[in-house]
Amino acid sequence: MIWEGAFVGIGSVKRPERVAVIGVGVLGASVGWNLSRHGAKVVFIDAGQPGEGVTNWSFSWVNASNKTARKSYFDLNVAGMAAYRELARTIGPDSWWHPSGHLRWTDGPAAEAKLLETAELLAGWDYQVEVYTGAEVRRRLEPALTMPGEAPVVFYPDEAWVHGRHLVGRLVGQAVASGAEHRFGAAVCDIGTGTDGSIRTVVLSDGSRLDVDTIVNAAGPSASHVAGLIARHLPMRREPGVVTRIGCAQVPVRRAMHAPHIEIRPDGDASMVLHSREIDALIDTGEDPAEFGRLLHESARHVVPELDDSRIVQTRVANRPIPADGYPSVGAVPSVSGYYEAVSHSGITLGPVIGRLLASEILSGKSDEMLADFRPERFHS
């Protein structure tokens, strides 16, 4: 059982008296939910509302096919996919879980060769991969798409998308029902430590002071600022992304997809999410975000002509929480007793597995080998 196995041995070390989880996106919610269900006293802290930050403005694609640069990172993401399936069985899939697979195709001979090369690599790693022509995809999977009939299209059937805000709401709600506290709408402005350097208090922007002995820094784009409150240096990339939501009478596609120049996925019965790395590259030009939304909408209509009558609902530019080397920072920081990090760009895919592994580390004092390449101490203060 994936959720219980990681908690073997809990009770062998002093349990934290009160854990402050700073940042309640998918990572913070997953850590707090796992801690709470194993008896820890948790207080969720967020400057906004749970799940409404980067988690709500992400493409929210659960995958490992885009994580092949380092095998240990690929393996962690595969574990994240498995953790989602178990989580859906544990809390119920409801409106947050959509395991409908993922389509990817591109244009141009060089790009298509790279696409098929990656698919072959993944198949060699026992990842589920299916290759179709565009005509087969339209006939069998997505009839609303426009694509060349002979174009190679890679289908990853085990991939999924999640409605991040709904998932966070479910996890936080269950944790609160189990006794967790929350402080929403108040930012952390100071962290107090004892004479031995261990965590003692958290001070919020509303003037309140909370006595805690453990902190989980899951503050996403603000994680470097939170780390700085204990004189910890957590270098982060600046990599903003733009996401547009469009409304339509009926969503014409069933699954997430990467088409040439545009990424598209459903977002419920009457909404879709659009993103493009090409549009992200324009963010620092000073262009109005509304223009980014228009460009995304135009690209999407070329791929899905039924979106001609759809409308832009909202466009948002959000900073992605990416540590400087591009990989997660997860676990204890040895120089500050009681301080842990859960910071990663791949928060959607990794939320459930990081939540389970980090909660186990906090409660048992033992780190899982799966996190060995992603420990915070690789960034020296």
Distances (CA, A) of 217 to 35, 138, 330, 359: 14, 44, 9, 13
The pLDDT of residue 15 is 75
Residue 132 lies in a domain: yes
CATH number of the domain where residue 225 is located: 3.50.50.60
Q: Where are the beta strands (DSSP E) in 108-261?
A: 130-133, 152-156, 160-162, 181-184, 188-193, 199-204, 209-211, 214-217, 240-247, 256-259
Residue 84 lies in a domain: no
Q: For helices 347-364 and 26-37, what crossing angle results, to 10°?
A: 30
All residue ranges of the chain with pLDDT < 70 are 1-14, 381
- Tell me, yes or no, whether 22 and 114 share the same domain: no
Q: Where are the beta strands (DSSP E) in the chain?
A: 19-22, 42-46, 61-62, 97-98, 102-104, 130-133, 152-156, 160-162, 181-184, 188-193, 199-204, 209-211, 214-217, 240-247, 256-259, 262-266, 271-275, 311-319, 329-332, 339-343
- Tell me, yes or no, whether 233 and 339 share the same domain: yes
- Tell me, yes or no, whether 299 and 331 share the same domain: no
- Tell me, yes or no, whether 232 and 242 share the same domain: no
Residue 301 lies in a domain: yes
- Tell me, yes or no, whether 29 and 173 share the same domain: yes
- Tell me, yes or no, whether 169 and 311 share the same domain: no
- Whether residue 266 contacts residue 142, with contact meaning beta carbons closer than 8 Å, is answered with no
- Tell me, yes or no, whether 330 and 309 share the same domain: no
The pLDDT of residue 1 is 39
**256 - beta bridge partners?**
102
List the domain range (segments joined by +) for residue 360: 2-57+164-237+323-378
Domain edge (last residue) among 297, 319, 341: 319
Looking only at the bridges linking them, the beta strands covering 256-259 and 262-266 are: antiparallel
- Tell me, yes or no, whether 242 and 313 share the same domain: yes
Domain edge (last residue) among 319, 345, 360: 319
The total of structural domains in the chain comes to 2
Residue 339 lies in a domain: yes
CATH number of the domain where residue 260 is located: 3.30.9.10
CA angle in degrees (0–180, nearest 5) for 71-73-79: 105
- Tell me, yes or no, whether 200 and 189 share the same domain: yes
- Tell me, yes or no, whether 168 and 152 share the same domain: no
Residue 249 lies in a domain: yes
Residue 294 lies in a domain: yes
Residue 75 lies in a domain: no
The pLDDT of residue 120 is 98
Residue 83 lies in a domain: no
Domain edge (last residue) among 319, 339, 370: 319
- Tell me, yes or no, whether 185 and 216 share the same domain: yes
- Tell me, yes or no, whether 339 and 229 share the same domain: yes
